[in-house]
Chains A and B, each alone.
Chain A
Amino acid sequence: MILLDPVWTALLYLAAAVFFILALRGLSSPRTARRGNLVGAFGALLAVVTVFLSARLENIPWIIGAIAVGTAVAAPVARRVKMTQMPQLVALFNGVGGGAAALVALLELSHNGDPWTRLAIVFTLLVGAVSFAGSGVTFAKLQELMTTRPVVFPGLPVVMAAVLLAAVGTAVAVVLTGSLALAVLLMVLGLAAGALLVLPVGGADVPIVISLLNAFTGLAVAASGVVLGNVLLVVAGTLVGASGTILTRAMAAAMGRSVAGILFGAFRGGSTAGSTAVSERPVRSSSPEDVAVLLGYAQRVIIVPGYGLAVAQGQHTAAELALALEARGIDVDFAIHPVAGRMPGHMNVLLAEANVPYESLKEMSEINSEFRTADVALVVGANDVVNPAAKTSSGSPIYGMPILEVADARQVVFLKRSMRPGFAGIENELLYEPQTSLLFGDAKDSLAKVLGAVKAL
């Protein structure tokens, strides 16, 4: 049954596209972000209602059932996931979107004889499959179902090249013949290429790959819009493809890396491997009570939260410590490196969850000049993002990455699990400086002990 004539359909899809543009614009500013997201959700709802009212559809009860299943699976997961597990959830949602695009393209093949349309089908199929498999591997890495280190094996570049060549050949054959069997083969090759693309990416680079795959899925959706002649899919997919590309570049720049370096670094060898040797030089270790005294009698404290805090889920304890110090009249700020946490911008989400006011979260460019006025810089589970080697040692893998200049503070306290180096696998000279002391232990435990000692002062 068709209730809407084509003009109304086109206008409603246009409205949905405008809502998506407003959503992305809203999401890029803190004040309007939440409203932006709701505007986007409304646009999606409008589009789904429009398709039911305007297209000649069979199997409607089945379709509604499938939508109910998808909602019933995803909504509770989205509502309950721990904020620290956000990166893998984003990867998972991206992967299923890519998978859906690939399946839609596969099914459209039998309806389309025109080579140009088949070209768009082949593109959707391949990119959707790459995104699905690549996101699956990033999910496995972040969920620690497999190692987070780069996985490389001899001959990887050769295998990758062979898979890509086979994919291009198969793609051409599908465009020429429209063979369904070859299209299935192409999808399998796309899955292999996606996995091979992400396996060699390690550690802190994984989230950037999620962002890149996100842009890929957007492009696959845009191409599926060409196949179906649906302008909304073209616009929405292209928007995500373009904005995702910008976002990926911004994230990579925040780490002082290039996107190509992240994807192909491991092929060239070296970049994220680093040395894992631990030096025998003495460090000054300290007790929770010592740290509490240092903090409790300071005038200005800057807390630098990092990956270790995110993993230990210590954000609430960190927020309590900040409140306890502020109650003593101490000025406390959080210095947030753009890539702190488990993905760029993630630390802001974690601290916001712990009710740390937005005004206390300072971005790197804003706070770097303030470290020299700080009595204590308290580094909680961060290492690479404060390592001066990024500025001074041109041979270092993190050379060129912008860092937080905690070395300027009068005292530096590191809460660390062990002397083991961070992601980049390199030593931090700052640990051996005379103004530095270390408190070993799980970030959350150590923070709780320091908090107890501050309250007892």
Chain B
Amino acid sequence: MDGISLLTITVLAVFVGFEVVSKVSSTLHTPLMSGANAIHGIILVGAIIVAGQAADPWVLAVALLAVVLATANLVGGFVVTDRMLHMFRGRKGVGK
């Protein structure tokens, strides 16, 4: 892809990022941080591409380490955010 298209996409994404969370309630700061954290775990796609092109065993080893780390970020992030949000309930959840 050419530089100008990438730049266009990046600038638009900055504005979307600012817009979508601009009015977040402080109640949700923790889950939102954790959810955004999970989203950057999508570096997994990059790690998979790099590992899939690796010919040298050392390169493969480093790339697989990146795959493990990125998966931990992605899977762990979504799971823990879901667990947190599961606890936010309305009135009917009172008592045990």
Contacts and interface: CB of A to CB of B under 8 A. Distances in A.
B84 to A, nearest CB: 5
Nearest to A226: B6
Contacts, number: 381
Interface in B50-96: 50-55, 59-60, 62-91, 93-96
A150 interface: no
A328 interface: no
Interface in B7-31: 9-10, 13-18, 20-31
A186 B63 CA distance: 18
A443 B62 CA distance: 47
A70 B72 contact: yes
A63 B51 contact: yes
Interface string A60-72: 1011011101110
A229 B26 CA distance: 36
A41 B75 CA distance: 8
Given A44-B78, A230-B46, A234-B9, A94 B91 contact: no
- Size class of the A contact interface (CB-based, 8 Å): 35 or more
Nearest to B10: A238
- Size class of the B contact interface (CB-based, 8 Å): 35 or more
Contacts of A211: 33
B33 A90 contact: yes
Contacts of B91: 357-359
Contacts of B52: 55-60, 63
A38 interface: yes
Nearest to B51: A63
Given A93-B72, A239-B13, A344 B25 contact: no
Contacts of B54: 58-59, 107
B87 to A, nearest CB: 4
B29 A52 contact: no
Interface of A: 16, 20-21, 23-25, 27-30, 33-34, 36-38, 40-41, 44, 47-48, 51-52, 55-60, 62-63, 65-67, 69-71, 73-75, 77-79, 81, 83, 86, 89-90, 93-94, 96-97, 99-101, 103-104, 106-108, 111, 116, 210-211, 214, 217-218, 220-222, 224-226, 228-247, 250-251, 254, 323, 336, 338, 341, 343-346, 348-349, 352-353, 355, 357-359, 361, 363-364
20 contacts: A27-B28, A34-B82, A57-B48, A57-B49, A62-B51, A67-B44, A74-B79, A77-B76, A86-B80, A217-B40, A221-B40, A232-B42, A235-B9, A238-B10, A238-B17, A338-B26, A345-B30, A349-B87, A355-B95, A357-B93
Interface of B: 1, 3, 6, 9-10, 13-18, 20-55, 59-60, 62-91, 93-96
Given A70-B67, A242-B16, 6 more contacts: A25-B21, A51-B49, A93-B72, A96-B73, A238-B14, A338-B29
